[in-house]
């Protein structure tokens, strides 16, 4: 193992990992100048105390640099022609070049890892050099963490020892989902009508979705989706804490009354925000309408009008008078017969 300037090697790894996680040594040794293998251990946790591991995350460590023999040159020589390794190199800046190099089928040393239930993954025998470490498959309800660069071995900042066993703790990026459901009700509601919804997801990018009828695709914030009665859409991979809002394009129109529940809020980790829209439309039964005014309508009942009360009374008296006249006429005829 060729000697590496202690301050430079230690400074590189701290620079590369800034803001993406932490790195430390599992073990350390004062032995230097040996060409021996080291190890890379990933401890991937959802919490600071390391009690909740992130399982099922897939990582790949690609050896992109080796130690240079000439002590007057920069300690590391790039193994990827399009990549320069120096004090300014950042993992995010060279991600495309590394990917293209590997896809071209070029010979490169790489190690595949997958975190277990405790959030741990290990490469027990890693050749000395510079590694590009990337998360190639995110765990459920997570996005892939930012890529990092690390060296095996690296020197403690105080120059006391070479660390061949490197611990990496990626910073988790947690996500949640958004579900939008449509229901149509009422005796005049059209169950086949498709209603439009405008969605705001609070961030840019394409997000995968699946629908209740088996369709899938991707959607961006600001787009419009369509749902009919009984249909729903599940949008996944939304950043924890990001805000969302959903609005129906023609709410309370076309004879429908629109009710919205959880139409705006924030995305929670590991859960699906449940946004529901219900449109109700009813038709009035024939002949059920009420009326007002002087004319009135069949089936209506009016109060406070003496005309309606007096009419039966007048008819009653009139009928009584008619009966009296008839009785008088009939009595005269009977008397005339007797005569």
Q: What is the mean pLDDT of residues 73-96?
A: 90
Residue 128 resides in a domain: yes
Residue 142 resides in a domain: yes
Q: Does 97 score more than 50 pLDDT?
A: yes
The stretches of 32-162 forming alpha helices (DSSP H) are: 91-103
Domain boundary pick from 171, 186, 217: 171
The pTM for the full model equals 0.72
Q: What is the mean pLDDT of residues 54-69?
A: 93
Residue 241 resides in a domain: yes
Do 156 and 181 share a domain, yes or no? no
In angstroms, the CA 21 to CA 171 distance is: 5
Q: Does 311 score more than 50 pLDDT?
A: no
In angstroms, the CA 254 to CA 196 distance is: 13
Supply the range of the domain harboring residue 86.
6-171
Do 144 and 27 share a domain, yes or no? yes
The structural domain count of the chain equals 2
Domain boundary pick from 171, 203, 228: 171
Write the pLDDT tens digit of every residue in 64-82.
999 877 766 777 889 999 9
Dihedral sign of CA atoms 145, 150, 155, 158 in order = negative
Q: Are 176 and 242 in contact (CB under 8 A)?
A: no
Write the pLDDT tens digit of every residue in 12-27.
443 343 334 555 544 4
Average per-residue pLDDT for the chain: 81
Residue 330 resides in a domain: no
Containing 130, the helix (H) or strand (E) segment is: strand 129-137
pLDDT at residue number 21? 52
Q: Does 28 score more than 50 pLDDT?
A: no
Containing 13, the helix (H) or strand (E) segment is: helix 6-16
Q: Does 298 score more than 90 pLDDT?
A: no
Q: DSSP 3-state assignment of 142? A: strand
């Amino acid at each position: 193992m060729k000697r590496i300037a202690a301050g430079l090697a230690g400074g590189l790894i701290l620079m590369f990992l800034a803001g993406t996680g932490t790195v430390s040594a599992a073990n350390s040794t004062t032995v230097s100048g040996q060409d021996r293998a080291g190890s890379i251990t990933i401890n991937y946790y959802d919490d600071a105390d390391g009690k909740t591991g992130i399982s099922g995350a897939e990582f790949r460590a690609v050896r992109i640099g080796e130690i240079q023999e000439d002590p007057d040159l920069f300690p590391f020589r790039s193994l990827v022609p399009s990549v320069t390794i120096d004090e300014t190199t950042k993992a995010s800046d060279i991600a495309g070049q590394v990917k293209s190099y590997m896809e071209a089928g070029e010979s490169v040393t790489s190690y595949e890892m997958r975190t277990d239930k405790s959030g741990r993954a290990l490469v027990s025998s890693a050749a000395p050099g510079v590694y590009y470490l990337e998360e190639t498959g995110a765990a459920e309800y997570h996005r892939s963490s930012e890529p990092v660069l690390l060296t095996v071995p690296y020197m403690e900042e105080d120059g006391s020892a070479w660390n061949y066993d490197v611990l990496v703790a990626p910073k988790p990026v947690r996500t949640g989902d958004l579900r939008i459901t449509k229901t149509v009700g009422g005796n005049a509601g059209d169950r086949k009508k498709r209603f439009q919804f405008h969605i705001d997801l609070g961030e840019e990018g394409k997000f995968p979705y699946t629908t209740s009828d088996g369709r899938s695709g991707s959607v961006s914030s600001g787009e419009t989706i369509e749902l009919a009665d009984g249909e729903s859409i599940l949008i996944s991979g939304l950043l924890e804490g990001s805000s969302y809002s959903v609005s129906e394009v023609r709410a309370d129109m076309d004879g429908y009354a629109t009710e919205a529940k959880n139409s705006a809020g924030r995305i929670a980790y590991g859960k699906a925000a449940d946004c529901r829209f219900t449109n109700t439309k009813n038709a009035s039964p024939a002949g059920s309408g009420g009326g007002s005014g002087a004319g009135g309508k069949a089936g209506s009942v009016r109060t406070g009008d003496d005309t309606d009360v007096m009419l039966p009374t007048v008819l009653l008296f009139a009928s009584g008078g008619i009966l009296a006249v008839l009785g008088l006429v009939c009595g005269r005829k009977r008397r005339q017969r007797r005569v």
